[in-house]
A and B are shown apart, each in its own frame.
Chain A
Amino acid sequence: MSRNAMKLTPQGDCEIEIERSFDAPRDLVFEAFIKPELVQRWMLGPDGWSMPVCTIDLRPGGKGRYEWQNADRSAGMSLNTVFKEIVAPERIVHTERFDQDWTQGEATVTTLFAEKDGKTTVTMKIVYASPVVRDMVLKSGMDQGMARSYERLDDILKK
């Protein structure tokens, strides 16, 4: 299977945008984003993590709950969402917040589904309530040290 390229672009301090195409019609892609038994199969965390809990009440004001767990169940994380706007199969707007305090408060996520020639492009705009892009960039930069190689540059430069 050929793999479509993904674009992830920071938009200032508070926002990132992710874009990716899929070789499937829009209604199938939309379904994979909203049906818990399907979401549980792909929206996973780092390698070895699973999503034992996924509930989605897809209506304005409806809530979603996602729980992830690592392989030996020694660590987990969980996310609560509230749906704001649903235009099937074009657009979902929701807010989300992790239970863990290492994350940075609420984010508003707009997910757009556009179909062309049987392919579907998904665009996710994630807007954080705080300048998380700036802060997390700073923090992880400090955690990992300053000595990353030039190889990583390519991704930024090719944008």
Chain B
Amino acid sequence: MQPTQHLDSTFAALADPTRRAIIARLTQGEASVMELARPFDMSQPAISKHIKVLEQAGLVSRGQDAQRRPCRLETGPLAEATSWLDYQRELFEARFQRLDTLLEEMKAERRAAAKRKPTARSRKGVRK
């Protein structure tokens, strides 16, 4: 599989809540299809379909044991998918925390302005 297709399918695979729940379960350790189906109100074939999507995205592999064929998590694609998004998330979170602080100041300034001159509600902004 091409790396780019690979990431497309990672995002597509993670877009579904059942598949995210399966991934979450597999972070605890490998499990059979039957074990994975248990917490869901879903048939085993329906769960198998989800697992197939995860397999195609390279997120899950199946063991060799012919009877059980346990599913296990493949972390490579997830590590790729998270790091850039993590960076964006951290950057914006830090910015928005600063904005929280600034807005508190702006609100206090507005309250003070309203007190000084109760009718001047249009007064806005922060004095430098």
Contacts and interface: CB of A to CB of B under 8 A. Distances in A.
Interface stretch (A20-28, A71-79, A90-98): A20-28
Given A22-B100, A137-B81, A141-B83, A146 B11 contact: no
A139 to B, nearest CB: 7
Given A134-B7, A134-B8, A146-B80, A156 B100 contact: no
B75 interface: yes
A3 B8 contact: no
Interface band, chain B:
35 or more
Interface in B76-91: 76, 78-89, 91
Given A23-B103, A141-B83, A152-B82, A18 B92 contact: yes
B7 to A, nearest CB: 5
A54 to B, nearest CB: 14
A38 B105 CA distance: 11
Contacts, number: 138
Interface in A1-20: 1, 3-4, 6, 8, 10, 12-13, 16, 18, 20
A153 B97 CA distance: 23
A158 to B, nearest CB: 8
Interface string A125-159: 00000010111111111111111101011011101
Interface string A92-125: 0000000000000000000000000000000000
B110 interface: yes
B102 A38 contact: yes
Contact of A138 (B24, B80, B100, B110): B80
Contacts of A16: 85, 88
